[in-house]
Structure 1
Amino acid sequence: MSVGALPVPLADSYPVPPLHEGAGHTGTGVALGCAALGLTTGFVDFIGDDHPGTLVRERLAGSGVDFRPLISPHGTRRAVSLVAPDGRRMSFYDARDPAELRMPPEHYLPPLRRARHVHVSIMNFARFLYDDIEALGLPVSTDLHDWDGLTDHHREFALRSDLVFLSTAGAGERIASVMREILHEGRAQAVIATAGAGGAYLLSADDRTPRLVPAVVPPGPVVDSSGAGDAFTSGFLYGRLAGRDLEECARLGAVAGAHACTSRGTHTDLIGREELHAALGPAPQATVTAAPGAPAGQLLRPTPP
């Protein structure tokens, strides 16, 4: 919902423009973004037999995403986002999944075996997929969002992923040390920290300090930053699967993230491959070997709707 300012002034009631309901969580965002860029994309998750679950199904229908949901008796996870006139936003997340929720292997293993890259969101049930992902020898990425480098929930995701995305919002001035910790203590090949209009920071094994990847000027006025991080991840993964180097992948992510800020709502206007190429030029020729029988660019992500 649109609000006049953040933080919202204290009041008994606060008039706002008409509310918008839609599928806007990180899992759908990365899946939709990758599919819009031409990647063959699979998506497994829990949703509820409820109105929000119907919104998720409707948003993914016809998108090119192979969506394979399981029905959770606890309902569909949801969030309320407040968006200021300058595009900044604050989300209130309803993490209703119980700690004991698990996804049965017979549901996720078939698409895993067809994948050549897996993107895992930080849902608790998703951490139990890592052993199977590693056994299949698949590269994996994750998004820690605003991790402060301290909260235990995120740590396993951070240390068991090959590409780690997060924002600078949680760690603040400690972000460089958090990035180094992820790189040195885990299996990550690269850590990417997004900083909104400040660009992004890239740290790989070849770097002594994080490299700044400048922000891209959006192609229109900034109206809503919701989903910009998911778009960044999609652009980066697209570049990675095309064989581009890490810095160019981050530039692709920056282009996709900037594009996402120019439309209201979350994941409502997704950048396509032609627009991405127009911003950075044609991709270099590269050979990428897929798993036997895997469609080119197959992605699987156990993530929230």
Structure 2
Amino acid sequence: MDLDVFVIGGVGIDTIVRVPGLPLPDQETIHVPPVETYVGHTGHGVVLGCSRLGLYPGLADVIGDDPAGARIRATYEQLGLPLAVAFHPSGTRRSVNLVSPDGSRVSLYDDRHPPGMRVDPNLWRGHVGRARHVHVSIMDFARRALPDVLAAECTMSTDLHDWDGENEYHRDFALTADLVFVSTSALRDKAIDWIFASGRASVVVAMAGSDGSYLHVRGEEPVHFPAMDIPGRPVVDTNGAGDAYVAAFLTTWLDGRTFQEAAEAGTIAGAWACGSPGTHTDLITAEQLMYLQTRPARGDRTG
């Protein structure tokens, strides 16, 4: 096995527009700072975060044979990380993210790919068997990789993002993964109980933005990890914070440490990501994470 983490799905181009506030004022023209574009999206954030923390990750995804896709391929060539792609005429996914001065955002997501899109499973099959762990993004095509990941007998994670606990689209991912990440923004009561009762997850991490995160380990009481402030690094942009959390959690857990230690690492990495503008522009390194982990605690974890 020569890949630490293999990610299936979730790379695209982010356009970041810094706006005076959210919701937008009711006026025809709004002057904004320079609009920037980045290689981004959730799967790429996990790959880049794991790489910055010392792992060797790779990615497989469907992109377009277009300038955006060429930029993605060039980025992975520069990073020296494996990238397997299939081309689709609908093009490369895009997102326009509006970011307010306090770092909060609204994401306008252009998936482009048609529902039910199928791709050659060889896109991921040769890589799954080489990986210690597979992270499956909730791209529709990626659900067809789930049986192959199970057959490879490696551990699997997924990020359900703003799942409400009922939308059928997310359920295959929620039921199959060993580690489930999900936002609390739309999550309904008993959704986490349903994952444990119906799926195979040993842990569910509910990410709650400025309220931190909640670690749910099967058979144990949940533990709250408050969000943290990093001195000298105020929040300017929350784009990619969840991906940074996932990457640090996986890296720590794959190193043989506990879920609690992994959640602590994720909390730090997510806070660090909020301190730079744009998407995945300054993710935490292993050295920076280690330094911040040794600092005195700024709050108690609560069960």
In structure 2, the residue corresponding to 1:22 is in which secondary structure?
strand
**Separation in 2 of the partners of 1:212 and 1:260?**
20
Asked whether 1:90 is paired with 2:106, we answer yes
Matched, 1:55 2:32: no
Q: What's the CA shift for 1:100? A: 3.0
Q: Retained in 1: the 8 A contact 2:85–2:123? A: no
In structure 2, the partner of 1:247 is 260
What aligned pairs does 1:22-33 form with structure 2 within 5 A after superposition? 22-33=38-49
Deviation sequence 1:244-298 (CA, Å, 0-9, x none): 11111011001110010000000000111111111224xxxxxxxxxxxxxxxxx
Find the residue that maps to 1:54 and give its secondary structure: helix
State the shift of 1:116 in Å. 1.1
Aligned-residue Cα RMSD (Å) equals 1.5
> How far off is 1:165 after superposition?
0.3
More deviation in 255-264 or 69-78?
Answer: 69-78
Where relative contact order (Cα < 8 A, 6+ residues apart) is larger, the structure is: 1
Match of 1:296?
none
Structure 2: 5+ residue stretches without partners: 1-16, 295-303
Q: After superposition, what is the alpha-carbon deviation per residue over 1:167-196, rounded to whole angstroms, capped at 9, x for unaligned?
A: 11112xx35x22221122111000001111
Cα distance between partner residues in 2 of 1:97 and 1:72: 8
Q: Report if the CA contact (8 A) 1:22-1:55 is conserved.
A: no
Distance in 1, matches of 2:247 and 2:44, equals 11
1:1-305 equivalences under 5 Å are 1-171=17-187, 174=188, 177-208=190-221, 210-219=222-231, 220-281=233-294
Say if 2:253 and 2:262, in contact at 8 Å, map to a contact too: yes
The number of residue pairs the alignment matches comes to 278
1:35–1:63 contact (8 Å) kept in structure 2: no
What are the ranges of 5 or more consecutive residues in structure 1 without an aligned counterpart? 282-305
The answer (yes or no) to whether the contact 1:22–1:56 under 8 Å persists in 2 is no
Q: Say which SS state the counterpart of residue 65 (structure 1) adopts.
A: coil
Say if 1:116 and 1:138, in contact at 8 Å, map to a contact too.
yes
Give 2:137's aligned amino acid. Answer: S
* SS state at 2:250 partner: helix
Deviation at 1:82, TM superposition (A): 0.2
Range with bigger deviation, 54-63 or 107-116 = 54-63
Q: TM-score, normalised by structure 1?
A: 0.88
- 2: CA distance, partners of 1:183 / 1:64: 38
Structure 1 or 2: larger strand share?
Answer: 2
| Equivalent-residue separation in structure 2 for 1:106 and 1:95 (angstroms) | 22
Q: For residues 72-117 of structure 1, give each alpha carbon's deviation from its aligned partner in whole angstroms, at most 9, with x where no partner exists.
A: 1110011100000000011010111112322312221111110110
Q: Distance in 2 between matches of 1:218 and 1:103?
A: 43
Letter in 2 for 1:213: F
Q: Give the Cα separation in 2 of the matches to 1:199 and 1:100.
A: 35
Residue 149 of structure 2 aligns to a residue whose secondary structure is: helix
TM-score between both structures, scaled by the size of structure 2: 0.88
CA distance in 2, matches of 1:169, 1:58: 35
Aligned 8 A contact 2:134 2:156 in 1: yes
Query: After the TM superposition, which of the residue ranges 104-113 and 224-233 deviates more from structure 2?
Result: 104-113
